[in-house]
Amino acid sequence: MLFTFPLKTCINIAKLTIVQIASFSFRFLLTNCMIIYLYTTSFQNVDDEEYGGMGEILKEGMMSSFATFMVSLVSTV
């Protein structure tokens, strides 16, 4: 059985304003960037300058993780 959220924690997407959705997205992007950068430089020991800079590391999985975030946000309705 799939994991289901309790009714109190579900976000009703219809009641969210554009500002709230943008705030959720911005916070997700900041958190995602921090986690990706720390994971690749600390745990995997990747030299960011050798790979092409911090931007290249952050671009690697950004769209797929953002799409997953949006699907999870919409599916909690």
Q: Above pLDDT 70, what percent of the chain?
A: 78
Range of the domain at 50: 16-68
76 in a structural domain: no
Average pLDDT over residues 68-75: 81
9 in a structural domain: no
pLDDT, residue 1, reads 46
Counted domains in the chain: 1
41 in a structural domain: yes
pLDDT per position as a tens digit, 34-57: 888 888 888 888 887 888 888 888
Sign of CA dihedral 50, 51, 55, 58: negative
75 in a structural domain: no
Q: Above pLDDT 90, what percent of the chain?
A: 0
56 in a structural domain: yes
String of DSSP letters for 16-44: --HHHHHHHHHHHHHHHHHHHHHIIIIIS
Q: How far apart are CA 1 and CA 77, in angstroms?
A: 18
28 in a structural domain: yes
Q: How far apart are CA 49 and CA 52, in angstroms?
A: 5
* Residue 77 clears pLDDT 60, i.e. is over it: no
6 in a structural domain: no
Q: How far apart are CA 32 and CA 41, in angstroms?
A: 14
pLDDT: which is higher, 63 or 26: 26
pTM over 0.85: no
59 in a structural domain: yes
